[in-house]
Amino acid sequence: MDQLVDGEALTKVLVLSLVFGAGVPAVFALGVRALAPVDGTTSVLRRSAAYLCFAVCAAAVVVGVAKLVIGSD
């Protein structure tokens, strides 16, 4: 902790935050798009894809909560 900014840690924080912070909403949006009816119906395939997307988002939330419980290192 000699220098004021630890560049390497900062880069890690920024990249990981970007992956989760922008990636999760994007996956959620993909789910919403898959669920939207095409010609009045939503196929089983699209429906499954949508639920998979939402599951990925839910998993990200679980990882977040787990991080809180374990705490920072």
Partner 1 sequence: MARIVGDVDGIPLLVLVVVTALAFDFTNGFHDTANAMATSIATKALRPKVAVLLSAVLNVVGAFLSLAVAATIAKGIVEQDAVTMSVVFAGLCGGIIWNLVTWYFGLPSSSSHAIIGGLVGSVLVAAGADGVIWSGLASKVIIPAVIAPVAAGFIALTGTWLVYRITRSVGSGARESEFRWGQIGSASLVSLAHGTNDAQKTMGIILLALIAGGELPADAGVPVWVIIACAGAIGLGTYLGGWRVIRTLGKGLVDIEPPQGLAAETSSAAVILVSSHFGYPLSTTHVASGSIMGSGVGRRTPVRWGVARRMVVAWLITLPAAGLVGAGAEGIQRLLDGAAGTLVVLAILVAASAGLWLASRRSAVDHTNVNDDWTAPDRPASVPA
Q: What is the DSSP string of 47-67?
A: HHHHHHHHHHHHHHHHHHHHH
The smaller minimum CB distance to partner 1, of residues 44 and 66, is found at 66
3-state class percentages of the chain: helix first, strand second, coil last, to nearest 5: 75, 5, 20
In the complex, what is the shortest distance from the CB of residue 7 to partner 1, in angstroms, rounded to a whole number? 11
In the complex, what is the shortest distance from the CB of residue 28 to partner 1, in angstroms, rounded to a whole number? 5
Contacts of residue 28, defined as CB under 8 A and 6 or more positions apart, other chains included, come to 53, 54, 57
The smaller minimum CB distance to partner 1, of residues 7 and 45, is found at 7
Binding site for partner 1 (CB under 8 A): 1, 4-5, 9-10, 12-14, 16-18, 20-22, 24-26, 28-33, 35-36, 57-58, 61, 64-65, 67-73
